[in-house]
Structure 1
Amino acid sequence: MGTLWFWIVALMLAAYIVLDGFDLGVGAIYLFVARNESERVQTLRSIGPVWDGNEVWLLAAGGTLFFAFPLLYASAFSGFYLPLMMVLWLLILRGISVELRGHSDDPLWRTFFDGLFSFSSILLIVFFGAALGNVVRGVPIGPDDYFFLPLWTNWRTGPNPGILDWYTILGSILALAALSLHGALYLALKTEGHLERRALYFSRRIWIASVALTAIGIPATVFARPASLDNYRGHPIAFLVPLAVIACVITMRLTMAIKSRLPSFLASCGYLLAMLVGAATGLFPVLLPAVGTRGRDLTVARAIAGPHTLRVGLAWWSIGVCLALLYFGIVYWLFRGKVPTDAEGYGH
């Protein structure tokens, strides 16, 4: 059950990154690819029906973490309290920027909320990249299984790290490049005309940065936490995961040249999924690594809830996920295809 719940939580987080990742990416490139009011409205309409639904996966993953691994939930939410509050406020600001932008035709009003939408999207990506970097690198867990992290210390990994160091900043930049690419490919899939061509042009340029940062990030992870290779050495079949990353990156670039935009977007989804599965593979069975000598790793065996909780939770989780998948299937089917330029509101 511990292994099952580890991968359930990991895949739910991966679903959030893949789904909410493209509308975060759209927000990150919003001011760069949408040059006029018509294109900005078209950009918002491309994500309007789905952006808030995509965030359900983050809430669902947090709830699942709460009942499946309560010790991890308590430890992580206390140690990462400051960045979590910042993420919460950024989610709020991003939401109100989408909803309030169309309430006035005043250019200053719309310019303000356009900037707020892009700013909050970029910072959310940066924070999520830093958070993943902290989880992979490890934190200074104490004997009571809690920890505290300053915003930064000496910018190095080691026994006394901060939330920000060279590795977590690298993770933030990689996340920004990868999700900007993801968003650009989605925008090219959902729009037409000058906006589609501009999004495709942007995706070809940011692809180069994503590949370079990925090539740096994988060995950097091994350097920051050498134990991340243990599972790969013990189970060589796991090396198929980095091979999948390479295959998706190549497929992404090759399919940018064809007329259909769907294959390149699906390749981007596969790239993000493979990267996150690779990180989870390197961690298992550790949920949160400990650095220094004061505490122990938070592992699946130490943090797992009781058997009754897991059995009841699995039943209700299965029902909830089936309903969520049905909802997402209907929404994405109803709003398939290109965004019409003459549609009203933020749906299409």
Structure 2
Amino acid sequence: MEMAWFVIVTVMLAMYVVLDGFDFGVGMVYPFVAHTEADRQTVRASIGPVWNANEVWLIAAGGVLFFAYPKAYAAGFSGFYLALILVLWLLIFRGLALELREQVDHVLWRQAWDTAFTTSSVLLAVVFGTALGNLIRGVPLNRDGYFFVPLWTDFQPGAAPGILDWFTMLLGLSCTVILAFHGANYLVMKTEGLLYQRTVSAARILGWMSAGYTVLTVIAVPLVQPSLALNFSRNPVVYLAPLIGVIALGYSLYFRIRGRDTSAFLASSVFIFLMLVSVMFGMYPNILVSTTDQALSLTVYNAATDSYGLTAGISWFVGGFLLILTYQIYLYSQFWGKTRADDAH
């Protein structure tokens, strides 16, 4: 059951990044493609019905992690406490920016919340990418299963790393560019006219940048965490996930050039989903890797709750998962298609 719950956590986190990731991306390209007030209203309306629902996956993933792997949850939340507080505040400011902008009809008020929307979107992508880099590289776990990581040390991965080093910063930048590309692909599906043309141009540039950062990341990961590459060599079939993911990125670029908007968005979704799955299964059975002593790493076995709880929890999870999935399918079916400036949700 430990592996089953690892798969569940992985899928839910990947779903969150794919769905809320395009919200972040829309926020990042917002000031570059929306030149008029009508454009800005259209961009915000494109994610207005869905951004709240997309965040449900983050809450659900956190709940599942707490239930299935309480030791890993406790260690992660303790060690990354400041980073998690930053994420909370950024999510709050992003939500406020979307909800409060239209409450006062004044140019400075609107500009302030537009800035908050873009800034919070960029920083969330950077923080989540940096967090992924920390998970891959590992943290200095002690014998009690806890750790403390300073903001930075010498910017080199090692036994006593900081939150920021060249590798985690690379992951932060990669995540930012890839999610900006993903968001631009989504926005292309929702817009028309000059706004559409500007977004297409942005998506093409971001697509090639995403390909470049993906190459750098693929080279860097086995250098920083050789055990991940070793796991892949032990299970060659796992290579299919990153291989199909990279192919999906290529197809997303191809579809973008050919003007097949929906296909480009779906392909970038597959790319992000499979690359995250690849990382998680490359780390398996580790959840938190120790940089001081591999024997101190938290795994799906030593961090899991008891077997009875894992077995009993499956039935509750299936019901909740199907409920969320059904609601989101209905939501997207209702708001599919182009968005206009006068759409308000």
Please, what TM-score do these two structures have when normalized by structure 2?
0.98
| Matching of residue 157 in structure 1 with residue 164 in structure 2 | no
2:332 counterpart residue number? 332
Residue 273 of structure 2 is matched in structure 1 by 273
Q: Residue in 1 aligned with 2:124?
A: 124
Alignment of 1:133 onto 2:133:
yes
Deviation at 1:308, TM superposition (A): 2.0
Aligned to 1:105: 105
- 1:198 paired with 2:192, answer no
Deviation, structure 1 residue 249: 1.5
Contact 2:139–2:288 at 8 Å: present in 1 too? yes
| Cα offsets for 1:214-233 (capped at 9, x unmatched) | 10101201001100012211
The match for 2:300 is: 300
Kindly report which structure 2 residues correspond to 1:76-91, keeping only aligned pairs within 5 A, or say none: 76-91=76-91
Tell me if structure 2 keeps the 8 A contact 1:70–1:305. yes
Residue-pair matches, total: 345
The equivalences for 1:99-248 within 5 A come to: 99-248=99-248
Q: List runs of 5+ in structure 1 lacking aligned partners.
A: none
1:342 — aligned with what? Answer: 342
Asked if 2 retains the 8 angstrom alpha-carbon contact of 1:242 and 1:274, the reply is yes
Secondary structure of residue in 2 paired with 1:62: helix
- Is residue 295 of structure 2 the alignment partner of residue 291 of structure 1? no
Moved more, 311-320 or 183-192: 311-320
Q: Classify the secondary structure of the residue corresponding to 1:305.
A: coil
Give the conservation status (yes or no) of the 8 Å contact 1:141–1:294: no
Cα drift, residue 294 of structure 1: 8.8
**CA separation in 2, counterparts of 1:193 and 1:325?**
33
Is the CA contact (8 Å cut-off) linking 1:142 and 1:294 kept in structure 2?
Answer: no
Q: Which runs of 4+ in 1 moved over 4 A?
A: none
The amino acid that maps onto 2:2 is G
Name 2:49's counterpart in structure 1. 49
Q: Does structure 1 retain, via aligned residues, the 8 Å contact 2:208–2:253? A: no
Separation in 2, partners of 1:89, 1:107: 24
Q: CA deviation at 1:104?
A: 1.3
Question: 2-side partners of 1:108 and 1:296: how far apart?
Answer: 53
Structure 2 counterpart of 1:284, which letter?
Answer: Y
Q: Following TM superposition, by how much is the alpha carbon of 1:49 offset from its aligned partner in structure 2, in angstroms?
A: 0.0
Q: Which moved more, 1:228-237 or 1:100-109?
A: 228-237
SS at match of 2:287: strand
CA apart distance, 1:311: 2.0
Question: Is 1:321 aligned to residue 327 of structure 2?
Answer: no
CA distances 1:203-257 after superposition (whole Å, capped 9, x unpaired): 1001111111110101201001100012211111111122112211210111113
Looking at structure 2, the residues matched to 68 and 189 of structure 1 have their Cα atoms a distance apart, in angstroms, of 38
More deviation, 312-321/57-66: 312-321
TM-score after normalising by structure 1: 0.97
Indicate the larger mover: 173-182 or 225-234: 225-234
In the alignment, the residues of structure 2 paired with residue 8 and residue 156 of structure 1 have an alpha-carbon distance, to the nearest angstrom, of: 33
Backbone CA RMSD of aligned residues: 1.1
Shift of 1:342: 3.1
SS in 1 for 2:302: helix
Per the TM alignment, residue 325 of structure 1 is displaced from its structure 2 partner at its CA by: 0.7
Paired with 1:175 and 1:246, the residues of 2 have a C-alpha distance of 15
Is the 1:252–1:265 Cα contact (8 Å) retained in structure 2? Answer: yes
Aligned-pair CA distance for 1:295: 6.2
CA distance in 1, matches of 2:256, 2:127: 29
Separation of aligned partners in 2, 1:293 and 1:241: 29
